[in-house]
Amino acid sequence: MPRLAIKICGLSTPDTVGAAVRAGTSHVGFVHFPKSPRHVDPEQIRALAAAVPAHVERIAVVVDPDDALIARLVDTGALSAIQLHGKESVERVAAIRQRFGLPVWKAIPVKTGQDVDRARDYAGVADRVLFDAKTPEGAALPGGMGLRFDWTLLKERTMSTQWGLSGGLDIDNVCDAIRITQAPLIDVSSGVEDAPGIKSVDKIMTFCKAVSAC
């Protein structure tokens, strides 16, 4: 089995970005969404990404963005891909990918098996789908709340596109998540924090070590 890809998402400081790189992560994520405690603006993303080596991908996470917002992020020259974490349709994902020429990820909120099936709609359109826990109706945030879904919904599924697992992952449960889902990429945010939006260097390092030992 190839080495598991790890994305540390919601990074906002140079020391935690550095920790993620030193720990061997394959992807770092920057959230541009004002309602999030992890929000960073385009200039912060540019500065944080400048310290990230070329072999580590740099992902901007946005929620139902308009083209002007995406353009501001793309113009930083800092990004490897855009992650869409709202209610973007298949058509919207395709339009963003065509206009901006960057790989596009689409988060799929999951509560039931039918939610997992929705990923098929994005095959050939999104470069990767990311299965995340569905947040409660009316929640201020579409993710990053430490919620998890029933991982057995992904067990022995054949995916028609690249994919990853998110939602409620932490140091204590990540090996179970990998064993059950066989996910090729895992995405952690709140599971390596001391408080919402406050990443822990120690937890980032420990999480990545735990994954290596799974």
* Active-site residue identified among 117, 132, 176, 194: 132
**Residue 150: active-site member:** no
The token pair at 151 is 């991982």
Assess contact for 108 and 130: CB atoms under 8 A: yes
Cβ partners under 8 Å of residue 108, min gap 6? 115, 116, 118, 119, 122, 129, 130, 131, 132
Identity at 33, one-letter amino acid code: F
Cβ partners under 8 Å of residue 111, min gap 6? 133, 134, 149
Assess contact for 133 and 112: CB atoms under 8 A: no
**Residue 66: active-site member:** no
Task: Give the whole-angstrom CA distance, residue 214 versus residue 11.
Answer: 24
The token pair at 153 is 């919904």
* Residues with active-site annotation: 9, 132
